[in-house]
């Protein structure tokens, strides 16, 4: 396998560019890489259509996301396995929910302690 260096692409109207944090490689893509499939395209071919990452540049007319937003979507050129990918179809990744304290409180019961001591053969 050889590595290819592509020029850094600038997002066009309606596109965003992301720094890729994760890319999904499906069955078709790994078969392309192994040479088991060929759709008539020459080399180099890229893989990784399903991607997630952080927006680092937005194209003209993009208002739904901004630089620094976490997004997922479909790589326009199937180049999600690279460092950067261009996306036209994307959605924001919602912030994770904040952790909340547990609703219950531990209850100590004498029978539980006695049972634990008996089972573990611990002496007081």
Give CA–CA dist 28/50, Å, rounded: 13
Residue 62 lies inside a defined structural domain of this protein: yes
Note the pLDDT of residue 24. Answer: 87
| CATH code of the domain in which 50 resides | 3.90.180.10
Domain region containing 40:
16-95
Residue 64 lies inside a defined structural domain of this protein: yes
Burial class of 73 by CB neighbour count within 10 A (0 to 12, 13 to 18, 19+): buried
Domain count, the chain: 1
Question: Of 71, 78, 74, which Cα lies nearest the Cα of 56?
Answer: 71
Is the model's pLDDT at 99 over the cut of 90?
A: no
Number of other residues whose CB lies within 10 A of the CB of residue 26: 11
Number of other residues whose CB lies within 10 A of the CB of residue 51: 25
Is the model's pLDDT at 105 over the cut of 70?
A: no
Residue 70 lies inside a defined structural domain of this protein: yes
Residue 32 lies inside a defined structural domain of this protein: yes
User: Which ranges constitute the DSSP H helices of the chain?
Assistant: 27-34, 110-120
Are residues 77 and 42 in contact, defined by beta-carbon separation less than 8 angstroms?
no
- Which pLDDT tens digit goes with each residue over 2-59? 666 777 889 999 999 999 999 988 887 778 777 787 777 666 667 778 999 999 999 9
pTM: 0.67
């Amino acid at each position: 396998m050889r590595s290819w260096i592509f020029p850094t692409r600038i997002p066009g109207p309606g596109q965003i560019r992301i720094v890729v944090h994760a890319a999904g490689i499906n069955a078709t893509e790994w078969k392309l890489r192994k040479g088991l499939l060929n759709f008539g395209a020459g080399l180099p071919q890229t893989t990784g259509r399903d991607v997630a990452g952080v927006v680092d540049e937005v194209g003209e007319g993009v208002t739904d996301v901004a630089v620094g937003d976490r997004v997922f979507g479909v790589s326009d050129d199937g180049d999600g396995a690279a460092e950067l990918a261009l996306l036209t179809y994307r959605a924001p990744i919602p912030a994770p929910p904040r952790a909340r304290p547990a609703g219950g409180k531990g209850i100590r019961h004498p029978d539980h302690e006695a049972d634990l001591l008996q089972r573990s053969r611990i002496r007081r």
